[in-house]
A and B are shown apart, each in its own frame.
Chain A
Amino acid sequence: MLKIICKQLLNRWGSNVWISMELLLVFCLVWYMTDYFFVLQYNRSIPLCRDVSHTWLVDVAQIPELSPAYRPAESDSATLPANFDRVLDRIRNCEGVEELAVMNRGDLPGAGSYYGWMLKSSPDSVSPSAGGQRICFDPRTDYFHVFRITTPDGKPVSVSDFDFSDPKAIVLSRSAQNSLFPGEHTAIDKGLYNGMDTEQSFVVKGVVGDVKRFDYQRPQKNFYVAERAGYSNIDRKSIVIRSSSSVSDARFRQLFSEKMKKELRIGNFYFKRIRSLESLEKETEALFGVTNNYRVRVALMLFFLLNIMLCVVGTFWYRIRQRREEIGLRMALGSTHASVRRLLYVEGLCLLAVVVVPAMLIEGQFVYLGMIDTLGKSSQDSQVYLPDRLLLRFILTNVITFVLLVAAILVAIWLPADKASRMAPAEALHDE
């Protein structure tokens, strides 16, 4: 049957040129989109040693000095920190709050800001170095517990597991340890130096698992350091909390907001709002254009697939009308409805098979010319991920594209094939 179909396709090559060209064009374009989604989904599937679900940013601000409600005495060097502590206590004691941490505003998970550090394992210029994100928190609060940070093998950690009483204490993520101390079993109690200012040194107190800055990226290197919140830096601090998983997020947000509106009016502090860190991350992804890129690609992919479906429906519809006699004859000679349908399906799939190789050759040029981006790839990556293996990625994405187009073609042929299979042989032969 396959041989006959191929012969027929060749004989009708003139009318098959358009549909083949369309398939070729759409195959390449759909593959381009598939490649992006493949890398994106791969990055999202990389496990994290952190959990931001049920975590919240509590936005507390101070009344400006020019406001009539401002009270100078409440913001002096002794009262301000005390008021801040009272704010923290009120939040801690609020129903549904499981844990609280104070951290630098610029280091919030999922936020757009980034404070980078370059650390070295010794002050000389040739020692191993690693660049990554610095995360600074108040050691009196448990940052690690709020975000369920774990060790590389998944064991939960707490601030109390590390000796942050040492002002030089630093905790590294696993990939930072691997880059700074390659081949060494442990980095604990080893010294580190700031690459930009070697006067600033640290002592490694622990190693935790890698986390990603954003879910669509790869894991990055992190350096965790401690700094107490005080009069001089309260403006730069943020309060983050974890709510109990037994209360729904919507309910918790409503209850917390209602209660804190009154309770957090302490000194010159007032409660602004509470935002989930998941929504903050989503907002940052939108801000950086990732969400729009995704949406545009989904829209384009649907557009291309719909086009190929319409092309197949239109072309096969006419084809069937022109081949009524042939179909009638086949049925008169004993072909079943199913075999007529199968004939058309196989015809469609043969056309797709014909374009696969030329399409892959064209795609190969794109890859060769470096026109394919790898989302989240960084020169700092210390590990090879699947999207870095270009040949494997190329084959996988082409297989996915092929499957998508097979599905689209089968759905598109269904309507004309169904009509053809329902044709009465006598009526069809009457045309002849």
Chain B
Amino acid sequence: MIRLYFKQAWNLIRQERLFSSVYILGTGLSISMVMVLSIVFYIRLADIYPETNRSRILIAERSRVEERNRPGYVSTGYLSESIIRTCLGSLEGVEAIALELNDRSDFYVQPAGKETQLPVAAKFVNTDFWKVFPFRFTGGQPFTEADQLSRLPTVVIAQSLARRLFGDEDAVGQYISLNFRQYKVCGTVQDASFLTSRSYAQLWIPYTVSESYQQDTWGDTSAQGSYFASVLVAPDADIEKVKQAAEANVQRYSNTLPDYTFSMMGQPDYYWQSVLRTWDDNIDFGKLILQYALVFLILLLVPAVSLSGMTDSRMERRLAEMGVRRAFGAPVGALMKQILSENLFFTLLGGLLGLLFSYLLLFLTRDWVMQIGISFVEIVHEDAEVVIPASMLMNYTVFGIALAVCFVLNLLSALIPAWRASRRQIIYSLNAK
């Protein structure tokens, strides 16, 4: 039966080309906007190389210290290494803690024998970083615990940078000059995308090598510093319990401070929370989700009303047909099913167009679109290129979302016109020209 309805819809398209084009275009436009947002959130939240453990990661990066005797005298910032070890290090069910030292210097590689300097993105991390973010090593290995302890200037570099600096030669074992300091390359990895910002860099260096390492803590407590932590929870552990235990540790630590209160502003966060988090002290994730839901709703509702108007107009023209079918005994449900199925055909065509258009939009706006809603945007490095791998765009999750959006939009745009058309008096419908 559905096949017959689809066939009828195809004939309608052929008969009313302009109207059908407008309808499909409207549907495609709506679906493309929703899909752009959906893909952005998919890329920001799903388990994607090298952040394939996102669903098992807790993020801790904020600290807030307030004087007990002078409420309002507040200091906020990142965390110290010692507070991370104290509150998160001893938790049961934690597999590894990746540390990153927030060193915001500009980094330039001085290629051998050339006068030019190459701007690069570098991260100062610990050995556990490689466990939390399982990069694929194309040569060599990560720097070792011994390298880290003895502050050896070793470096893991991205394959694209290795190729740029050393051509076809093996980069492992060679030296590179970074801000005029020599680093020995111990490994090369498959590039990470700029879109996986927690792990993205072109060079990864032991955090103990950074010049900022010595001035780790600041402020009047030893809790504030320059570190972020990504905590990998064991697969068999309950992530919620680990989070609760961490929060309890933070509270216990705060209670030990006679003159200050300390908090991580509700952290550690689940990975999805860390993506939505702003600098607001009292962030309400429920409200944030509602806001995003409202945006999705508007993106669907505005075209849905417009498409409903068009569907309703189409139904006006087909009232006589509906009247004849009802006169021969077709129930209201069958007519509604017919209208919804026919409309679904239009919506699916629009959905396909919309999905393709959303890929084009994402490609054209790739430098910034992934950072929608982020309060402190990561600027694309002047020498870096934002690459969206095809695997991030074409996968079952994305196709599933597109299909679901089509169904929702179809219901929103055709349900009321279908209901109206199928419930008209038979005599009125038959009388319609």
Contacts and interface: CB of A to CB of B under 8 A. Distances in A.
B171 interface: no
B368 A25 contact: no
B26 A287 contact: no
Contacts of A19: 309
Nearest to A268: B180
B181 A67 contact: yes
Contacts of A66: 153, 181
A64 B302 contact: no
B376 interface: yes
Contacts of A357: none
A346 B166 CA distance: 70
A314 B301 contact: no
A22 B302 contact: yes
A69 B178 CA distance: 12
Given A29-B298, A292-B372, A310 B25 contact: yes
A26 interface: yes
Contacts of B379: 283, 286-287
B106 interface: yes
B108 A272 contact: yes
A313 interface: yes
Contacts of B316: 15, 318, 322
Interface residues of B, number: 44
Interface stretch (B16-24, B41-49, B249-257, B267-275): B16-24
A310 B22 contact: yes
B314 A286 contact: no
Contact of A287 (B305, B317, B377): B377
B180 A67 contact: yes
B308 interface: yes
B310 interface: yes
A308 B29 CA distance: 12
Interface in B181-206: 181-182
Contact of A69 (B18, B29, B180, B313): B180
Interface SS of chain B: helix, strand, loop or mixed?
Answer: helix
B313 A315 contact: yes
Given A15-B312, A272-B106, A307-B302, A286 B377 contact: yes
Given A306-B29, A310-B29, A315-B310, A291 B368 contact: yes
Contact of A318 (B29, B108, B314): B314
B26 A310 contact: yes
Interface string A275-319: 000000001001111011001100100011011101101110111
B22 A317 contact: yes
A377 B306 CA distance: 37
A59 interface: yes
Contacts of B245: none
A13 interface: no
A174 to B, nearest CB: 31
A338 B23 CA distance: 28
Nearest to A303: B33
A314 B310 contact: yes
B303 interface: yes
Nearest to B26: A310
Nearest to A304: B302
B375 interface: yes
Interface residue tally on A, bucketed by range: 35 or more
Given A15-B312, A18-B309, A296-B372, A59 B106 contact: yes
A289 B375 contact: yes
Interface in B308-324: 308-310, 312-314, 316-317
Contacts of B23: 314
B336 to A, nearest CB: 18
A370 interface: no
A68 interface: yes
Contacts of B365: 295
B371 interface: yes
Interface string A252-288: 0000000001100000001011000000000100111
Contact of B26 (A18, A61, A289, A307): A307
A286 B302 CA distance: 29
A348 to B, nearest CB: 13
Given A270-B180, A306-B29, A322-B316, A18 B22 contact: no
Given A18-B312, A26-B302, A318-B317, A307 B29 contact: yes
A262 B368 CA distance: 36
Contact of A307 (B179, B182, B303): B303
Given A317-B18, A322-B317, A311 B26 contact: yes
Contacts of B305: 18, 21-22, 25, 311
Query: Shortest 9 CB-CB distances between A and B: which pairs?
Result: A18-B309, A311-B306, A318-B313, A314-B310, A67-B180, A310-B26, A22-B305, A63-B180, A314-B22
5 contacts: A29-B302, A64-B180, A262-B115, A296-B372, A310-B26
Interface of B: 18-19, 22-23, 25-26, 29-30, 33, 106, 108, 115, 117, 119, 153, 179-182, 211, 298-299, 301-303, 305-306, 308-310, 312-314, 316-317, 365, 368, 371-372, 374-377, 379
Given A15-B313, A314-B306, 11 more contacts: A25-B305, A64-B211, A67-B179, A69-B180, A262-B115, A272-B108, A288-B376, A292-B374, A295-B365, A310-B29, A314-B19
